[in-house]
Chains A and B, each alone.
Chain A
Amino acid sequence: MSTSIHVSLGQVAAALALVALAAAISFWRRTDLEGDIAVATVRSLVQLTAIGYAIKLIFEADTIWLVLVLLSVMVVFGAITARSRAKKVPSAFWPLLIGLAIAAASTLGLVVALGIFEATPRYLVPVGGMMIGNAMTASAVALNRLGDEVSESRAAIEATLALGATAREAAAPFVRRALRSGTIALIDSTKTTGLIFFPGTMVGMLLAGAEPTDAVRLQLILLYALLGSTAIAALIATGLAYRNFFTPAQQLRELG
Protein backbone atom coordinates (compact mmCIF):
# COMPACT_ATOMS: atom_id res chain seq x y z
CA MET A 1 0.00 0.00 0.00
CA SER A 2 2.96 2.35 -0.40
CA THR A 3 1.99 4.52 -3.31
CA SER A 4 3.34 8.05 -3.50
CA ILE A 5 2.20 11.13 -5.32
CA HIS A 6 3.90 14.45 -5.78
CA VAL A 7 2.09 17.70 -4.91
CA SER A 8 3.63 20.93 -6.17
CA LEU A 9 3.61 24.27 -4.36
CA GLY A 10 1.68 25.62 -7.33
CA GLN A 11 -1.17 23.22 -6.58
CA VAL A 12 -1.21 24.34 -2.94
CA ALA A 13 -1.24 27.99 -4.03
CA ALA A 14 -4.15 27.29 -6.36
CA ALA A 15 -6.14 25.89 -3.42
CA LEU A 16 -5.87 29.33 -1.82
CA ALA A 17 -8.63 30.37 -4.24
CA LEU A 18 -11.04 28.52 -1.94
CA VAL A 19 -9.69 30.42 1.06
CA ALA A 20 -10.34 33.65 -0.85
CA LEU A 21 -13.88 32.44 -1.41
CA ALA A 22 -14.34 31.82 2.33
CA ALA A 23 -12.95 35.29 3.13
CA ALA A 24 -15.23 36.86 0.53
CA ILE A 25 -18.28 35.16 2.06
CA SER A 26 -17.23 36.39 5.50
CA PHE A 27 -16.79 39.96 4.19
CA TRP A 28 -20.04 39.92 2.22
CA ARG A 29 -22.19 38.51 5.07
CA ARG A 30 -20.26 40.53 7.70
CA THR A 31 -19.40 37.58 9.92
CA ASP A 32 -16.16 39.44 10.69
CA LEU A 33 -14.02 36.33 10.32
CA GLU A 34 -11.62 37.50 7.56
CA GLY A 35 -8.87 38.12 10.12
CA ASP A 36 -9.34 34.67 11.63
CA ILE A 37 -9.35 33.07 8.20
CA ALA A 38 -6.07 34.81 7.36
CA VAL A 39 -4.49 33.75 10.66
CA ALA A 40 -5.73 30.18 10.18
CA THR A 41 -4.33 30.03 6.65
CA VAL A 42 -0.91 31.38 7.59
CA ARG A 43 -0.66 29.26 10.73
CA SER A 44 -1.67 26.07 8.94
CA LEU A 45 0.91 26.80 6.23
CA VAL A 46 3.74 27.50 8.68
CA GLN A 47 2.86 24.76 11.19
CA LEU A 48 2.26 22.00 8.66
CA THR A 49 5.37 22.92 6.65
CA ALA A 50 7.45 22.88 9.82
CA ILE A 51 6.01 19.55 10.99
CA GLY A 52 6.48 18.19 7.45
CA TYR A 53 10.21 18.90 7.62
CA ALA A 54 10.38 17.61 11.18
CA ILE A 55 8.71 14.36 10.15
CA LYS A 56 11.03 14.10 7.17
CA LEU A 57 14.03 14.42 9.50
CA ILE A 58 12.57 11.85 11.89
CA PHE A 59 11.87 9.41 9.05
CA GLU A 60 15.40 9.81 7.73
CA ALA A 61 17.00 9.46 11.17
CA ASP A 62 14.81 6.37 11.65
CA THR A 63 15.21 6.29 15.42
CA ILE A 64 12.44 5.67 17.92
CA TRP A 65 13.78 8.30 20.36
CA LEU A 66 13.01 11.22 18.07
CA VAL A 67 9.48 9.84 17.66
CA LEU A 68 9.05 9.80 21.42
CA VAL A 69 10.30 13.39 21.68
CA LEU A 70 7.88 14.54 18.97
CA LEU A 71 4.90 12.71 20.51
CA SER A 72 5.77 14.07 23.98
CA VAL A 73 5.81 17.61 22.63
CA MET A 74 2.42 16.97 21.00
CA VAL A 75 1.02 15.67 24.31
CA VAL A 76 2.21 18.79 26.16
CA PHE A 77 0.82 21.18 23.54
CA GLY A 78 -2.40 19.16 23.42
CA ALA A 79 -2.81 19.53 27.19
CA ILE A 80 -2.13 23.27 27.02
CA THR A 81 -4.66 23.71 24.20
CA ALA A 82 -7.32 21.60 25.92
CA ARG A 83 -6.82 23.51 29.18
CA SER A 84 -7.95 26.72 27.50
CA ARG A 85 -11.28 25.00 26.80
CA ALA A 86 -11.67 23.86 30.39
CA LYS A 87 -11.36 27.21 32.19
CA LYS A 88 -13.86 26.34 34.92
CA VAL A 89 -11.86 23.31 36.02
CA PRO A 90 -9.17 24.18 38.60
CA SER A 91 -5.64 23.03 37.61
CA ALA A 92 -6.92 21.22 34.51
CA PHE A 93 -3.46 20.91 32.95
CA TRP A 94 -2.26 17.84 34.87
CA PRO A 95 -5.36 15.69 34.40
CA LEU A 96 -5.25 16.50 30.68
CA LEU A 97 -1.54 15.82 30.38
CA ILE A 98 -1.78 12.49 32.18
CA GLY A 99 -4.88 11.51 30.20
CA LEU A 100 -3.29 12.32 26.83
CA ALA A 101 0.00 10.64 27.69
CA ILE A 102 -1.64 7.41 28.85
CA ALA A 103 -4.08 7.39 25.92
CA ALA A 104 -1.24 7.81 23.41
CA ALA A 105 1.08 5.33 25.08
CA SER A 106 -1.54 2.62 25.58
CA THR A 107 -3.15 2.80 22.13
CA LEU A 108 0.18 2.98 20.29
CA GLY A 109 1.53 0.21 22.50
CA LEU A 110 -1.49 -1.95 21.72
CA VAL A 111 -1.46 -1.48 17.94
CA VAL A 112 2.24 -2.38 17.92
CA ALA A 113 1.82 -5.30 20.34
CA LEU A 114 -1.08 -6.71 18.31
CA GLY A 115 1.12 -6.58 15.24
CA ILE A 116 -1.11 -4.09 13.41
CA PHE A 117 1.69 -1.61 12.79
CA GLU A 118 5.46 -1.86 12.96
CA ALA A 119 7.22 0.19 15.61
CA THR A 120 8.86 2.46 13.05
CA PRO A 121 8.62 6.25 12.67
CA ARG A 122 6.61 5.91 9.43
CA TYR A 123 3.70 4.41 11.40
CA LEU A 124 4.16 5.79 14.92
CA VAL A 125 4.34 9.49 13.97
CA PRO A 126 1.11 9.85 11.94
CA VAL A 127 -0.88 7.37 14.02
CA GLY A 128 0.36 8.89 17.29
CA GLY A 129 -0.51 12.38 16.04
CA MET A 130 -4.05 11.28 15.22
CA MET A 131 -4.50 9.57 18.58
CA ILE A 132 -3.25 12.59 20.52
CA GLY A 133 -5.26 15.10 18.45
CA ASN A 134 -8.53 13.24 18.86
CA ALA A 135 -7.85 12.45 22.52
CA MET A 136 -7.21 16.16 23.08
CA THR A 137 -10.54 17.14 21.54
CA ALA A 138 -12.43 14.51 23.50
CA SER A 139 -10.88 15.39 26.86
CA ALA A 140 -11.27 19.14 26.24
CA VAL A 141 -15.00 18.65 25.52
CA ALA A 142 -15.33 16.41 28.58
CA LEU A 143 -13.64 18.83 30.98
CA ASN A 144 -15.49 21.80 29.50
CA ARG A 145 -18.74 19.98 30.26
CA LEU A 146 -17.52 18.95 33.70
CA GLY A 147 -16.77 22.59 34.57
CA ASP A 148 -20.23 23.69 33.44
CA GLU A 149 -21.97 20.82 35.23
CA VAL A 150 -20.23 21.40 38.54
CA SER A 151 -20.68 25.17 38.53
CA GLU A 152 -24.37 24.81 37.68
CA SER A 153 -24.98 22.04 40.20
CA ARG A 154 -23.20 23.29 43.30
CA ALA A 155 -26.38 23.09 45.39
CA ALA A 156 -27.06 19.51 44.33
CA ILE A 157 -23.46 18.43 44.98
CA GLU A 158 -23.45 20.02 48.42
CA ALA A 159 -26.79 18.44 49.25
CA THR A 160 -25.25 15.04 48.55
CA LEU A 161 -22.07 15.87 50.47
CA ALA A 162 -24.28 16.95 53.37
CA LEU A 163 -25.50 13.35 53.65
CA GLY A 164 -21.94 12.17 54.21
CA ALA A 165 -21.28 11.11 50.63
CA THR A 166 -17.68 11.31 49.42
CA ALA A 167 -16.64 13.83 46.78
CA ARG A 168 -16.42 10.94 44.33
CA GLU A 169 -20.01 9.87 45.06
CA ALA A 170 -21.35 13.42 44.96
CA ALA A 171 -19.62 14.17 41.65
CA ALA A 172 -20.39 10.82 40.00
CA PRO A 173 -23.45 11.85 37.94
CA PHE A 174 -21.63 14.92 36.62
CA VAL A 175 -18.44 13.04 35.83
CA ARG A 176 -20.53 10.46 33.96
CA ARG A 177 -22.24 13.13 31.83
CA ALA A 178 -18.91 14.83 31.11
CA LEU A 179 -17.34 11.56 30.00
CA ARG A 180 -20.32 10.85 27.82
CA SER A 181 -20.20 14.21 26.08
CA GLY A 182 -16.45 13.85 25.49
CA THR A 183 -16.72 10.50 23.76
CA ILE A 184 -20.08 10.65 22.00
CA ALA A 185 -19.01 12.82 19.03
CA LEU A 186 -16.52 10.26 17.73
CA ILE A 187 -18.93 7.38 18.40
CA ASP A 188 -21.62 9.15 16.39
CA SER A 189 -19.28 10.00 13.53
CA THR A 190 -18.01 6.39 13.53
CA LYS A 191 -21.62 5.26 13.13
CA THR A 192 -22.17 7.41 10.05
CA THR A 193 -18.73 7.01 8.51
CA GLY A 194 -18.92 6.03 4.86
CA LEU A 195 -22.53 7.17 4.64
CA ILE A 196 -22.34 10.87 5.33
CA PHE A 197 -18.62 11.57 5.23
CA PHE A 198 -15.37 9.95 4.13
CA PRO A 199 -12.77 10.05 6.88
CA GLY A 200 -9.43 11.73 6.18
CA THR A 201 -7.13 8.73 6.06
CA MET A 202 -9.27 6.97 3.51
CA VAL A 203 -9.54 10.09 1.36
CA GLY A 204 -5.76 10.56 1.56
CA MET A 205 -5.04 6.98 0.56
CA LEU A 206 -7.50 7.05 -2.32
CA LEU A 207 -5.94 10.28 -3.57
CA ALA A 208 -2.52 8.70 -3.27
CA GLY A 209 -3.67 5.87 -5.52
CA ALA A 210 -4.15 3.05 -2.99
CA GLU A 211 -6.56 0.17 -3.49
CA PRO A 212 -9.99 1.10 -2.01
CA THR A 213 -10.01 -2.09 0.10
CA ASP A 214 -6.63 -1.17 1.63
CA ALA A 215 -7.81 2.39 2.24
CA VAL A 216 -10.92 1.10 4.01
CA ARG A 217 -9.07 -1.42 6.16
CA LEU A 218 -6.50 1.10 7.32
CA GLN A 219 -9.28 3.58 8.04
CA LEU A 220 -11.12 0.99 10.13
CA ILE A 221 -8.02 0.22 12.17
CA LEU A 222 -7.52 3.92 12.86
CA LEU A 223 -11.17 4.52 13.75
CA TYR A 224 -11.13 1.63 16.22
CA ALA A 225 -7.87 2.83 17.74
CA LEU A 226 -9.31 6.34 18.01
CA LEU A 227 -12.38 5.08 19.87
CA GLY A 228 -9.99 3.58 22.39
CA SER A 229 -7.71 6.58 22.75
CA THR A 230 -10.53 9.14 23.13
CA ALA A 231 -12.27 7.00 25.74
CA ILE A 232 -9.07 6.49 27.73
CA ALA A 233 -8.10 10.18 27.61
CA ALA A 234 -11.58 11.42 28.59
CA LEU A 235 -11.89 8.79 31.35
CA ILE A 236 -8.56 9.71 32.93
CA ALA A 237 -8.98 13.48 32.50
CA THR A 238 -12.45 13.54 34.10
CA GLY A 239 -11.49 10.96 36.73
CA LEU A 240 -8.59 13.13 37.90
CA ALA A 241 -10.03 16.60 37.26
CA TYR A 242 -13.20 16.29 39.40
CA ARG A 243 -11.00 15.93 42.48
CA ASN A 244 -9.73 19.48 41.99
CA PHE A 245 -13.19 20.83 42.81
CA PHE A 246 -13.01 19.41 46.33
CA THR A 247 -10.88 19.87 49.45
CA PRO A 248 -9.36 16.88 51.30
CA ALA A 249 -12.18 17.29 53.86
CA GLN A 250 -14.71 16.48 51.09
CA GLN A 251 -15.87 20.08 50.74
CA LEU A 252 -16.78 21.74 47.47
CA ARG A 253 -14.20 24.50 46.93
CA GLU A 254 -15.32 28.09 46.53
CA LEU A 255 -14.18 29.16 43.08
CA GLY A 256 -13.58 32.81 42.29
Chain B
Amino acid sequence: MLFELRDVSLARGDRKVLDVVSADIHAGATAIVGPSGSGKSTLLRLLNRLADPDSGTIAYRDRPLAEYDPLTLRREVSLVPQLPSLLEGTVESNLAYAAGLAGKELDPKRCLGLAGLGAEFAERDVGKLSVGEQQRAMLARALAQEPAVLLLDEPTSALDHGARDAIEATLAKLRGELDISLIVVSHDPEQARRLAARAVRLEAGRVAACGALEEALA
Protein backbone atom coordinates (compact mmCIF):
# COMPACT_ATOMS: atom_id res chain seq x y z
CA MET B 1 0.00 0.00 0.00
CA LEU B 2 1.34 3.41 -0.97
CA PHE B 3 -0.62 5.53 1.53
CA GLU B 4 -2.97 4.40 4.27
CA LEU B 5 -5.02 7.11 5.96
CA ARG B 6 -6.90 6.30 9.16
CA ASP B 7 -9.33 8.70 10.85
CA VAL B 8 -7.45 11.76 9.68
CA SER B 9 -8.91 15.08 10.83
CA LEU B 10 -7.69 18.63 10.39
CA ALA B 11 -9.38 21.89 11.38
CA ARG B 12 -8.68 25.49 10.45
CA GLY B 13 -10.19 27.55 13.21
CA ASP B 14 -13.76 26.31 13.57
CA ARG B 15 -13.90 24.72 10.13
CA LYS B 16 -13.26 21.00 9.78
CA VAL B 17 -11.26 20.78 6.55
CA LEU B 18 -10.81 17.03 6.86
CA ASP B 19 -13.25 15.12 9.02
CA VAL B 20 -12.28 11.56 10.01
CA VAL B 21 -10.88 10.63 6.61
CA SER B 22 -9.87 7.01 6.02
CA ALA B 23 -8.65 5.86 2.62
CA ASP B 24 -6.19 3.50 0.95
CA ILE B 25 -4.13 4.84 -1.91
CA HIS B 26 -2.46 2.19 -4.06
CA ALA B 27 0.61 2.49 -6.23
CA GLY B 28 -0.29 3.63 -9.75
CA ALA B 29 -2.47 6.60 -10.67
CA THR B 30 -5.07 7.88 -8.23
CA ALA B 31 -7.31 10.90 -8.52
CA ILE B 32 -8.57 12.89 -5.55
CA VAL B 33 -11.81 14.47 -6.70
CA GLY B 34 -14.53 16.59 -5.19
CA PRO B 35 -15.95 20.11 -5.35
CA SER B 36 -13.80 23.06 -4.37
CA GLY B 37 -13.44 23.42 -0.61
CA SER B 38 -13.89 19.69 -0.05
CA GLY B 39 -10.37 19.27 1.37
CA LYS B 40 -8.56 17.81 -1.67
CA SER B 41 -5.54 20.11 -1.62
CA THR B 42 -5.22 19.83 2.15
CA LEU B 43 -5.21 16.05 1.89
CA LEU B 44 -2.44 16.23 -0.71
CA ARG B 45 -0.34 18.50 1.51
CA LEU B 46 -0.54 15.95 4.32
CA LEU B 47 1.01 13.28 2.10
CA ASN B 48 4.42 14.95 1.98
CA ARG B 49 4.11 16.58 5.38
CA LEU B 50 3.75 20.18 4.29
CA ALA B 51 1.16 19.98 7.06
CA ASP B 52 0.34 17.41 9.74
CA PRO B 53 -3.17 16.26 10.72
CA ASP B 54 -4.62 17.21 14.11
CA SER B 55 -5.52 13.58 14.71
CA GLY B 56 -5.44 10.23 12.93
CA THR B 57 -2.55 8.45 11.24
CA ILE B 58 -1.07 8.29 7.77
CA ALA B 59 1.30 5.52 6.69
CA TYR B 60 3.53 5.59 3.61
CA ARG B 61 4.69 2.17 2.46
CA ASP B 62 3.46 0.66 5.75
CA ARG B 63 5.47 3.04 7.95
CA PRO B 64 3.95 5.99 9.83
CA LEU B 65 4.60 9.24 7.99
CA ALA B 66 5.72 10.89 11.24
CA GLU B 67 8.69 8.49 11.33
CA TYR B 68 10.08 9.83 8.04
CA ASP B 69 12.44 12.78 7.98
CA PRO B 70 10.25 15.43 6.29
CA LEU B 71 13.05 16.58 3.98
CA THR B 72 13.86 13.06 2.74
CA LEU B 73 10.16 12.30 2.37
CA ARG B 74 9.51 15.40 0.27
CA ARG B 75 12.29 14.50 -2.14
CA GLU B 76 10.72 11.07 -2.63
CA VAL B 77 7.07 12.18 -2.57
CA SER B 78 7.22 15.36 -4.61
CA LEU B 79 4.39 17.89 -4.64
CA VAL B 80 3.74 20.16 -7.60
CA PRO B 81 1.55 23.02 -6.34
CA GLN B 82 -1.50 24.36 -8.11
CA LEU B 83 0.05 27.65 -9.13
CA PRO B 84 3.52 27.62 -10.62
CA SER B 85 6.11 29.09 -8.30
CA LEU B 86 9.65 28.87 -9.63
CA LEU B 87 12.78 30.39 -8.15
CA GLU B 88 14.24 33.42 -9.91
CA GLY B 89 16.70 32.46 -12.62
CA THR B 90 16.67 30.07 -15.54
CA VAL B 91 14.70 26.87 -15.91
CA GLU B 92 17.92 24.92 -15.66
CA SER B 93 18.95 26.63 -12.40
CA ASN B 94 15.59 25.55 -10.97
CA LEU B 95 16.13 21.97 -12.10
CA ALA B 96 19.68 21.99 -10.72
CA TYR B 97 18.45 23.30 -7.37
CA ALA B 98 15.91 20.50 -7.05
CA ALA B 99 18.32 17.80 -8.22
CA GLY B 100 20.95 19.12 -5.81
CA LEU B 101 18.56 18.91 -2.84
CA ALA B 102 17.79 15.29 -3.72
CA GLY B 103 21.46 14.47 -4.38
CA LYS B 104 20.77 13.40 -7.99
CA GLU B 105 22.75 13.94 -11.17
CA LEU B 106 20.83 16.36 -13.36
CA ASP B 107 20.04 15.49 -16.97
CA PRO B 108 18.19 18.68 -17.94
CA LYS B 109 17.31 17.51 -21.42
CA ARG B 110 15.66 14.36 -20.13
CA CYS B 111 13.67 16.13 -17.39
CA LEU B 112 12.49 18.80 -19.81
CA GLY B 113 11.57 16.15 -22.38
CA LEU B 114 9.53 14.17 -19.84
CA ALA B 115 7.66 17.36 -18.98
CA GLY B 116 7.06 18.08 -22.67
CA LEU B 117 9.54 20.94 -23.02
CA GLY B 118 12.32 21.19 -25.59
CA ALA B 119 15.97 21.33 -24.53
CA GLU B 120 16.09 25.02 -25.54
CA PHE B 121 14.00 25.84 -22.45
CA ALA B 122 16.96 25.12 -20.16
CA GLU B 123 18.45 28.59 -20.70
CA ARG B 124 15.14 30.46 -20.57
CA ASP B 125 14.44 32.90 -17.74
CA VAL B 126 11.45 31.67 -15.72
CA GLY B 127 9.99 35.17 -15.70
CA LYS B 128 9.51 34.96 -19.46
CA LEU B 129 7.55 31.70 -19.58
CA SER B 130 3.81 31.39 -20.15
CA VAL B 131 1.75 29.87 -17.32
CA GLY B 132 1.55 26.58 -19.20
CA GLU B 133 5.32 26.54 -19.70
CA GLN B 134 5.86 27.39 -16.03
CA GLN B 135 3.59 24.50 -15.07
CA ARG B 136 5.70 22.18 -17.21
CA ALA B 137 8.89 23.62 -15.74
CA MET B 138 7.48 22.86 -12.27
CA LEU B 139 6.84 19.30 -13.41
CA ALA B 140 10.37 19.02 -14.86
CA ARG B 141 11.79 20.39 -11.61
CA ALA B 142 9.93 17.77 -9.57
CA LEU B 143 11.12 15.04 -11.96
CA ALA B 144 14.72 16.21 -11.53
CA GLN B 145 14.48 14.75 -8.02
CA GLU B 146 13.55 11.33 -9.49
CA PRO B 147 10.64 10.97 -7.03
CA ALA B 148 8.75 7.72 -6.45
CA VAL B 149 5.44 9.56 -6.11
CA LEU B 150 4.26 12.76 -7.77
CA LEU B 151 1.54 14.75 -6.01
CA LEU B 152 -0.14 17.08 -8.50
CA ASP B 153 -2.52 19.78 -7.25
CA GLU B 154 -4.93 20.74 -10.04
CA PRO B 155 -2.12 20.57 -12.60
CA THR B 156 -4.20 22.13 -15.38
CA SER B 157 -6.47 24.57 -13.55
CA ALA B 158 -4.65 27.65 -14.84
CA LEU B 159 -4.53 26.41 -18.44
CA ASP B 160 -6.69 26.56 -21.56
CA HIS B 161 -8.03 23.36 -23.20
CA GLY B 162 -5.11 22.92 -25.57
CA ALA B 163 -2.50 23.26 -22.84
CA ARG B 164 -4.56 21.06 -20.55
CA ASP B 165 -4.71 18.25 -23.11
CA ALA B 166 -0.97 18.52 -23.66
CA ILE B 167 -0.20 18.27 -19.92
CA GLU B 168 -2.55 15.31 -19.57
CA ALA B 169 -0.83 13.57 -22.47
CA THR B 170 2.51 14.28 -20.80
CA LEU B 171 1.35 12.78 -17.51
CA ALA B 172 -0.04 9.68 -19.25
CA LYS B 173 3.27 9.25 -21.10
CA LEU B 174 5.19 9.70 -17.84
CA ARG B 175 3.28 6.81 -16.30
CA GLY B 176 4.35 4.65 -19.21
CA GLU B 177 8.01 5.64 -19.14
CA LEU B 178 8.78 5.85 -15.43
CA ASP B 179 8.01 3.63 -12.49
CA ILE B 180 6.22 6.44 -10.72
CA SER B 181 2.93 6.79 -8.88
CA LEU B 182 0.71 9.80 -9.52
CA ILE B 183 -1.79 11.30 -7.12
CA VAL B 184 -3.73 14.00 -8.92
CA VAL B 185 -6.11 16.44 -7.30
CA SER B 186 -8.85 17.52 -9.69
CA HIS B 187 -12.28 19.10 -9.43
CA ASP B 188 -13.11 17.58 -12.82
CA PRO B 189 -14.31 13.92 -12.83
CA GLU B 190 -13.60 13.71 -16.57
CA GLN B 191 -9.96 14.58 -15.99
CA ALA B 192 -9.86 11.91 -13.29
CA ARG B 193 -11.17 9.38 -15.84
CA ARG B 194 -8.49 10.36 -18.33
CA LEU B 195 -5.60 10.21 -15.84
CA ALA B 196 -6.32 7.73 -13.07
CA ALA B 197 -7.24 4.11 -12.42
CA ARG B 198 -8.50 4.72 -8.90
CA ALA B 199 -10.09 7.62 -7.08
CA VAL B 200 -10.87 9.08 -3.66
CA ARG B 201 -13.95 11.27 -3.74
CA LEU B 202 -14.24 13.91 -1.01
CA GLU B 203 -17.28 15.89 -0.01
CA ALA B 204 -17.12 18.55 2.71
CA GLY B 205 -14.01 17.01 4.21
CA ARG B 206 -15.37 13.45 4.32
CA VAL B 207 -14.68 10.47 2.07
CA ALA B 208 -17.77 9.95 -0.10
CA ALA B 209 -16.21 7.06 -2.01
CA CYS B 210 -12.84 5.39 -2.47
CA GLY B 211 -11.70 2.61 -4.78
CA ALA B 212 -11.72 1.71 -8.46
CA LEU B 213 -12.36 4.73 -10.65
CA GLU B 214 -15.90 4.13 -11.86
CA GLU B 215 -17.17 2.94 -8.48
CA ALA B 216 -15.64 5.96 -6.74
CA LEU B 217 -16.99 8.44 -9.26
CA ALA B 218 -20.46 6.92 -9.48
Contact = CB atoms under 8 A, between A and B. Distances in A.
Interface of A: 155-156, 158-166, 169, 173, 249-252, 254, 256
B75 interface: yes
Contacts, number: 60
Contacts of A163: 74-75, 78, 97-98, 101-102, 141-142, 145
B135 to A, nearest CB: 12
A165 B138 CA distance: 15
Contact of B71 (A155, A173, A250, A254): A250
Contacts of B49: 249, 251
Most buried by B among A160, A163, A166, A251: A163
B144 to A, nearest CB: 9
Interface string B69-100: 01111110011110101111000000001100
Given A164-B71, A250-B71, A254-B12, A156 B85 contact: yes
A155 B70 contact: no
A160 B145 CA distance: 13
B48 interface: yes
A249 B74 CA distance: 11
Given A162-B50, A251-B49, 12 more contacts: A158-B85, A159-B86, A159-B138, A161-B50, A163-B74, A164-B70, A164-B71, A165-B101, A249-B52, A250-B70, A251-B70, A252-B50
Given A251-B49, A251-B52, A166 B81 contact: no
A155 B81 CA distance: 8
Interface in B36-81: 48-52, 70-75, 78-81
B104 to A, nearest CB: 11
A201 to B, nearest CB: 41
Contact of A164 (B72, B81, B86, B87): B72
Contacts of B51: 251, 254
B201 to A, nearest CB: 24
Contacts of B138: 159
7 contacts: A155-B85, A159-B86, A163-B75, A163-B102, A164-B145, A251-B70, A254-B12
A162 B70 contact: no
Nearest to B13: A256
Contact of A249 (B12, B70, B88): B70
Contacts of A158: 50, 81, 85
A252 B81 CA distance: 15
Interface in B132-177: 138, 141-142, 145
A250 B74 CA distance: 11
Nearest to B49: A249
Q: Which 8 A-B pairs have the closest CB atoms?
A: A164-B75, A159-B85, A164-B74, A162-B79, A156-B85, A164-B71, A249-B70, A163-B98
Contacts of B83: 155
A164 B102 CA distance: 8
B87 A160 contact: yes
